[in-house]
Amino acid sequence: MKKLFYLLFALPLFLISCDDDNKLPDIQMNVEISGATKSDGVLYIVQGETLTIDKITVSSTSATKGIALGGATYYWDYYPVATTNTVPYTMSIETGNAPVGNHLLQIECPVFAVDYSAAVAVLTYKVKIVESADEIPSPDAPAPETPEVKAQYCLLY
């Protein structure tokens, strides 16, 4: 009798686990950055200048009913520096105390779309701080309206 009782308790767990939890929307992230020059996939900035993320937007071709970001958390060299939940998710990073050389800027944004699982988009930018503007190479050609940004997903638990 105990075995039947435990089986009845376990049955809902088997039914729930059959759901498709890995259905993620195809998204396009658009990040507007000012104060830096992009060349060869690297953002160059003079030490002491301010790197500003002006706006983060998301769009999707697969999620036609609605898609939104749940905020943005900014990481500088793997260290969390700020979180904002206010649209357009603006952030300024002062580089006066940052050493000259290579750095990493990461932006983590929860993505919520109707009829899709919740996900987290992680955007990564290489940043190089230089001592003078003479060290900055010539900028890339103007970017298209919606630049291609690789977004990685993981499910929220």
Using CB atoms within 10 A of its CB, is residue 122 exposed (0-12), middle (13-18) or buried (19+)? middle
Angle at 82 between CA 30 and CA 97, to 5 degrees: 105
Q: Is 55 left (phi over 0), alpha (psi -120 to 50) or beta?
A: beta
Structure tokens at 82: 């700020």
pTM, full prediction: 0.74
Q: Which amino acid is at 99?
A: P
Q: Encode 44-55: b = buried (16+ Cβ within 10 Å), e = exposed.
A: bbbeebebebee
What pLDDT does 51 receive?
A: 93
Which residues are within 8 A (CB) of 143 and not within 5 positions of it... i.e. 6 or more apart?
A: 38
**Residue 14 scores a pLDDT above 60:** no
Tell me the pLDDT tens digit for each residue of 107-133: 999 988 888 888 888 999 999 999 988
Cα distances from 142 to residues 33, 131, 147, in angstroms, run 13, 25, 10
pLDDT band at 2 (very low <50, low <70, confident <90, very high): low
